[in-house]
Each structure stands twice: as structure tokens, then as C-alpha cells.
Structure 1
Amino acid sequence: MSALQKERRVAKDINLVYDLSEKPNLSQLKAHQDRAVVAKLKADLVLPNDKILTVDIDFDSTSGYHDNAIMVMDDFGVEIIATAFEVKYGKEHAKKVRKAWANKQHDSDPRKPTYLLVQKPESVEKIPKIYASCGQERHPPKEAPASIT
């Protein structure tokens, strides 16, 4: 670890490494007055064949992930989101969330999704878009995924 990196253990299985070197903000994203916003995440995914796939998730793009509010990565998170959708938007939308997590997006996909991304809705009358991602064989896919809701 370099002098410009700091490490912080949040929990026994969550370790953050901060790169404290200053960089200009070249994104179109703006921080809130009292809170930072996530512009990009880098994830190392452990695939079923025990290989690692590194994915950069860029939230300042037209990739379909803009305005992301929630990233769900396991069964517990999916159940929490599905329950919230059931209460707020109805059983049919909760069923879509559970189905998207439990199944491959396409029959030819090698895996079920690795994560779901939930976007904040465009207005209070609309339902948030949810993207099931990273179960396809082609990385990156040629087109942004379609929302499951």
C-alpha cells in the first residue's frame, strides 16, 4: 500500500482501500453539499469456474446505470428489495424482482445475474427501473440491459 492509500475495515468481510491522491472530476456527476456520490466502482467477480472477471461500473454514462440508487448482490438483498417493491408498488413488481434474480436473463446465458441495480424513479408516479446484470457470457454486452420492471 502506498503512502496515498488508507485502509479501513468496515466489517469482517468488508475492507475499503482509499486512494487519497487528488484527481479532477471529469464526470458530469455533482456531489451533494453534504454527501459524495458514487461515480465508478471496480468489482472483481469470482466466476463459477473459479476465475476472476474485473468489471468497472461507471455511473456517469448512458449505459443504463445512470441514477443508480441501490446495488443488490445476494439473496437477502433481493428479498429486501422485493418486499419493499411489494409494499410500495404491488406483488407483480416484487415477483419480477425475484424472478430476475432466480433465473438467467436468456436461456443461453452461462449464469444467473451477479447483481441487480435499482435506479431511482423518474417521478413519484413511476416505478424504479431494475437491471439484472453480469450473467451473460459476453462482457461487456453490446447494448445496455433492459429494465426488468
Structure 2
Amino acid sequence: MSHLDEKLQIAEDINLTFDLTAKPNTSDLKAHEDRAVIANLRADLVLPNNKILTVDIDFNATSGYHNTTMMIMDDFGVEMLAAGFETKYGKEYADKIRQTWANKELPSDPRKPTYLLVQKPINENKMPSVFAVCGRKDHINTSPLAIV
């Protein structure tokens, strides 16, 4: 932690560290007038073999995560997302979300998805895209497929 880092505990089990070093915005993203916009998240994932996999999630306009509105990381979140989809779009789509979360994409994959990303639709007449991420063996040159 440098002298420009600031820590904040927002709940007993949620700690944030802010790096207050000034950096230029090299992304294509623009902040809202009254709200910041997430450009990048770095996550250390604890794998089933107890090793750590570090993932940088880039929300820049040219990345596959552009327009991401939600990141779902556990069974409760998946059920909340599925309930919302069921109410708004129907049981078929909600069940597809539940099924994707509960299963490996391919039987040879080392694990089930680690998280789901929900992308807001570009057109209000379309459905959001939902991506199951980080359950595959090969992370190189593989884009997650939209499950809905």
C-alpha cells in the first residue's frame, strides 16, 4: 500500500482500497456528470484447487464487457437475476440462466461459471445479454457466449 492508498471498510466482509494516484483516462469511456463509470476491475479468483487466478475485467467500449450493468457471483444473485428475467421476459429465459449457472459449459471444463455478466440491451425492445464467465479450461481467445 502506497502513501496514496486509502482503505474503506463498507461492511464487515467488504474492504475497498483506493489508489488515489492521478492517472489519465486512456479508455473510450466517459463518466456521467454526477457518477463515475467503472473502466476496469481486477479480481483474484480462488479456484477449486486453492490456487489464485487473477482476472482483469476491462469495461472499455471496445471490450466484450461494454455496457455491463450487473456482475452476479453466487447462487443468491443468480436467483435474483432469474426471478427478474422470469417476471419481465418469461420462465424459459429464467430457467436458461439457472441451468447455465448450475452446469459446466462443456463436460471437460474444470468448473462451473464463476460469475455472470449482464449487458444492458442497446435497444429497449431487446433483452439484455447474459454471459457465463470463467469456468472454461482455455481462457485464451475464447469469448463467452451470450446465454440469453
Q: TM-score, normalised by structure 2?
A: 0.97
Q: Please give the secondary structure, in 1, of the residue aligned with 2:77.
A: helix
2:119 equivalent to 1:119: yes
The 3-state SS of whatever aligns with 2:22 is: coil
Deviation at 1:108, TM superposition (A): 1.3
Q: How big is each residue's C-alpha offset from its partner over 1:10-50, in whole Å with a ceiling of 9 and x where there is no partner?
A: 11111000000000000000000000010000000000000
Q: What percent identity do the matched residue pairs reach?
A: 61
Tell me what 2:132 maps to. 132
Aligned twin of 2:142: 143
Paired with 2:128 and 2:72, the residues of 1 have a C-alpha distance of 14
Q: CA deviation at 1:79?
A: 0.4
Question: Is the 8 Å Cα contact of residues 29 and 61 (structure 2) preserved in structure 1?
Answer: no
In structure 2, distance between residues paired with 1:94 and 1:63: 26
Counterpart of 1:122 in structure 2: which amino acid? I
Mapped to 2, the partners of 1:91 and 1:57 lie a distance apart of: 30
SS in 1 for 2:136: coil
Counterpart in 1 of 2:25? 25
Larger mean Cα displacement after TM superposition, 52-61 or 36-45 = 52-61
Q: In 1, Cα distance between the equivalents of 2:62 and 2:74?
A: 25
Structure 2 stretches of 5 or more lacking a match? Answer: none
- Counterparts of 1:88-127 in structure 2, within 5 Å, are 88-127=88-127
Q: Distance in 2 between matches of 1:105 and 1:41?
A: 24
- Contact between 1:63 and 1:144, CA under 8 Å: does it hold in 2? no
Q: What is the SS of the residue equivalent to 2:94?
A: helix
SS of the equivalent of 2:137 reads coil
Separation in structure 1 between the aligned mates of residue 133 and residue 62 of structure 2, nearest angstrom: 15
Post-superposition CA distance 1:88-114 (Å, at most 9, x none): 111111011101100111121110000
TM-score, normalised by the number of residues in structure 1? 0.96
Q: 1:63 Cα shift?
A: 3.8
